[in-house]
Amino acid sequence: MHEVRTNELDSSSAPTTPAVHYLNATHGAASWFFTKDHKRIALLYLYSVSTFFLVGGIFAMLVRLELATPRGDLLSAETYNKVFTAHGVVMVFFFLIPAIPAILGNFLVPLMIGAKDLAFPRINLASWYLYMTGGLFGVAVLVMGGVDTGWTFYTPYSTAASNSHVVLTALGAFVAGFSSIFTGLNFIVTIHTMRAPGMTWDRLPLFIWSHYATSLIMMLGTPVVAVTLMMVVLERTLRLGFFNPDLGGDPVLFQHLFWFYSHPAVYIMVLPGMGVISEIVAAFSRKPVFGYKMVAMASLGIALIGFLVWGHHMFTTSQSVLAAVTFSFLSFLVAIPSAIKVFNWTATLYRGSVLLDSPMLYAIGFIGLFTIGGLTGLFLAAIGLDIHVHDTYFVVAHFHYVMVGGTLLAYLGGLHYWWPKITGKLYSEPWAKTSAVIVFVGFNLTFFPQFVLGYMGMPRRYHAYPAEELSWQVLNVLSSAGASILAIGLFLPLIYLTYAAFRGRPAGPNPWGAYGLEWETTSPPPTANFEVTPIVTKPAYYYAPEEH
């Protein structure tokens, strides 16, 4: 049925939108707030996650504005600390972690495996309510005056010294964490039990593999951070001595517990992104992903080794020399599966039929930025070098390259790629290409100078910096200017994607000529996803008949 596809955009019979689909099947607010349709829940997440992204972005701009001059002249020190904390908490817990799994994953996991819905539709809806409850705690904190611990909540500062709203923030992250645990559980059960006939494990799209690996981390890791945050709350309110040495605790214990979750958490952010990139690269080269098996296994490898490297956040805390060396070694190992993926994506282009439309531009941007982000991770894993750059802007640059350059670009690429499926409409390709280029340029201008700044020795989380370091201001100004460009690049999609959703031309079921079950149903899909349950007879990414 889908051997060699013709690009339906060119065919004379213009594509149409089906009369009834998941968006218009039922009406009224209740039909959305009590929906059990994974696609509608995905849209609920889309609206709320985007709102949080906007909030986090405003805080980011405040941070960059403040640092444009060495003197702390725009915000007070206390406000600045609250602003960067709010930026971190919102971006990590309310944007990066849920963005791809909760929006794209929710929408696509059942579609891609030929299922009618997720295994537990009610739990899926409950997950969104948990996420929103956690978010409301966060909003309450902001209204009441903020929190200043940094998103890492290091003790004993958070339990004994900070006089801001630590407890409420920790509870917010705690509640949002359960949303993540339930989503992971839902994905795993769905992938195990609800695949369409013929959708064997070795035919699963790589997007599904990456979500499978991510779900494992969500289920195994998130409870640990939940317990850790509860310990912070208990020490702060009841003075139970877990972390504060005055109460008989150990401050470094917190860091172990926190990073045991939070390092794997960076893979919760980036693994789904890798899944998105695999789909886009295949579709826009019209070729199977090079080394499908290795790419799938690399996802699992990253998820597993990712649990063993948390100690690399603590090289300067006086952990034992042996522990430091072990964690360094394991950190280098986890880089290998990431390297494999980069090479595989690149090789996929070879003898492909490559179309540089906006999703592909994002994917290519991702490959470049992720390569730099991953390689600079090696600088931090080499202990002798980490001692110098730890807790400086070098680290800030590194994790923004992987998390923003990786996760955000993959998210944007995926949003563009599946937007016609989600809304049934086509957006303006010239605008989309323009904004992809602006994002790429703005991103590099923002974060590249921070590597230099970090090696020069500028510590992170500084509200002001010594004016006699002339180059520091130059680098900071470049970074702040880049942030403004990046902001424009991120704002444009908000406009043209929204516009397209209402005014765009009908997309038809498969505007990209892509392969995959999600492209076989209508755009937008019906509530039950498929008119008849599909039967899969071909491997993943079957673009051309076997040449034997």
Partner 1 sequence: MGGTFTLFPTQASTMAGRVDNLYFFMLAVTLFFSVVVAGLVVTLAVKYRRRKADDVGANIHGSTALEVIWTAIPLLIAMVMFVWGTSVYFALAKPPAEAMEVYIVGKRWMWKAQHLTGHREINQLHVPVGTPVKLLISSEDVIHAYYIPAFRQKIDAVPGKTTTMWFEASKAGTYQLFCAEYCGTQHSGMIGKVVAMEPREFQQWLSGGAPAGTLTSSGEQEFAMLGCVTCHRDDGSGRAPSLVGVFGKPQRMANGTTVIADESYLRESILNPQAKVVQGYQPLMPAYQGQISEDNLVTLLAYIKSLEKPAAKGAPATDESAAPAGRQ
Residues 486-525 that bind partner 1 (CB under 8 A): 513
Q: Applying CB under 8 A, does 448 fall inside the site for partner 1?
A: no
> Residue 425 belongs to what H/E stretch?
strand 425-426
Residue 457 binding result from partner 1, ligand HEM, none, given CB thresholds of 5 to 8 Å by partner type: partner 1
Beta carbon of residue 303, minimum distance to ligand HEM (angstroms, whole number): 11
Query: In this structure, is the dihedral angle defined by the CA atoms of residues 54, 60, 66 and 69, taken in order, positive or negative?
Result: negative
Cβ atoms < 10 Å from Cβ of 30: 9
12 token code pair: 């004379």
Rounded to an integer, what distance in angstroms lies between the CA atom of residue 487 and that of residue 210? Answer: 29
337 token code pair: 């599966």
Q: Name the one range near partner 1 by CB under 8 A: 118-126, 131-139, 284-292, 431-439.
A: 284-292
Considering the complex, state which of residue 134 and residue 374 has its C-beta at the smaller distance from ligand HEM: 374
Q: Applying CB under 6 A, does 386 fall inside the site for ligand HEM?
A: yes
162 token code pair: 């900070």
Considering the complex, state which of residue 128 and residue 327 has its C-beta at the smaller distance from ligand HEM: 327
The binding track of 311-350 with respect to partner 1, each residue x by CB under 8 A or -, is ----xxxxxxxx-xx--xx--xx-xx--xx-xxx-xx-xx
Residue 399 binding result from ligand HEM, partner 1, none, given CB thresholds of 5 to 8 Å by partner type: ligand HEM
Residue 364 binding result from ligand HEM, partner 1, none, given CB thresholds of 5 to 8 Å by partner type: partner 1
- Of residues 50, 69, 371, 434, which one binds partner 1 by CB under 8 A? 371
- In the region spanning residues 270 to 289, those forming contacts with ligand HEM, defined by CB under 6 A, are 270
Of 3, 21, 11, 19, nearest in space to 530 by CA: 21
In the chain, the amino acid numbered 385 is: L
Rounded to an integer, what distance in angstroms lies between the CA atom of residue 9 and that of residue 111? Answer: 23
Q: Name the one range near partner 1 by CB under 8 A: 23-31, 304-312, 389-397, 429-437.
A: 389-397
- Of residues 388, 498, 533, 537, which one binds partner 1 by CB under 8 A? 388
- In the region spanning residues 217 to 276, those forming contacts with partner 1, defined by CB under 8 A, are 244-246, 248, 250-252
- Decide: 393 and 470 in contact? Cβ < 8 Å: no
Which bin fits 213, alpha (ψ -120 to 50), beta or left (φ > 0)? Answer: alpha
Residue 459 phi/psi, 5-degree rounding, is -70, 155
Beta carbon of residue 313, minimum distance to partner 1 (angstroms, whole number): 12
- Of residues 123, 160, 335, 528, which one binds ligand HEM by CB under 6 A? 335
Beta carbon of residue 376, minimum distance to ligand HEM (angstroms, whole number): 8
**Strand 505-506 to 425-426 pairing:** antiparallel
Beta carbon of residue 314, minimum distance to ligand HEM (angstroms, whole number): 8
Q: Applying CB under 8 A, does 121 fall inside the site for partner 1?
A: no
Residue 426 in 3-state DSSP?
A: strand
Beta carbon of residue 380, minimum distance to ligand HEM (angstroms, whole number): 3
Considering the complex, state which of residue 180 and residue 331 has its C-beta at the smaller distance from partner 1: 331
- Of residues 159, 215, 285, 338, which one binds ligand HEM by CB under 6 A? 338
Using the 8-state DSSP alphabet, how is residue 352 labeled? -
User: CA Rg, the chain, in Å?
Assistant: 23
Q: Applying CB under 8 A, does 437 fall inside the site for partner 1?
A: no
Q: Applying CB under 6 A, does 255 fall inside the site for ligand HEM?
A: no
The count of chain residues that interact with ligand HEM, using the rule CB under 6 A, is 23
Cβ atoms < 10 Å from Cβ of 269: 27
> Residue 59 belongs to what H/E stretch?
helix 38-67
Residue nearest to ligand HEM (CB): 377
Q: Which residues contact 60 (CB under 8 A, 6 or more apart)?
A: 87, 91, 483
Q: Applying CB under 6 A, does 85 fall inside the site for ligand HEM?
A: no
Exposed, middle or buried: residue 10 (CB in 10 Å: 0-12, 13-18, 19+)?
exposed
Beta carbon of residue 360, minimum distance to partner 1 (angstroms, whole number): 8
Of 421, 404, 385, nearest in space to 523 by CA: 421
Q: Applying CB under 6 A, does 374 fall inside the site for ligand HEM?
A: yes
Considering the complex, state which of residue 213 and residue 266 has its C-beta at the smaller distance from ligand HEM: 266
- Decide: 134 and 92 in contact? Cβ < 8 Å: no
Beta carbon of residue 458, minimum distance to partner 1 (angstroms, whole number): 8
Q: Which residues contact 85 (CB under 8 A, 6 or more apart)?
A: 146, 147, 148, 149, 150, 151
Considering the complex, state which of residue 210 and residue 244 has its C-beta at the smaller distance from partner 1: 244
In the chain, the amino acid numbered 391 is: D
Of 454, 453, 444, 346, nearest in space to 404 by CA: 444
- In the region spanning residues 157 to 196, those forming contacts with partner 1, defined by CB under 8 A, are 157, 160-162
Beta-sheet strands, E only, within 266-315: none
Q: Which residues contact 330 (CB under 8 A, 6 or more apart)?
A: 305, 308, 309
Q: Applying CB under 6 A, does 408 fall inside the site for ligand HEM?
A: no
Q: Applying CB under 6 A, does 258 fall inside the site for ligand HEM?
A: no
Considering the complex, state which of residue 355 and residue 501 has its C-beta at the smaller distance from partner 1: 355
- Residues near ligand HEM (CB under 6 A): 152, 266, 269-270, 312-313, 331-332, 334-335, 338, 374, 377-378, 380-381, 386, 390, 395, 398-399, 402-403
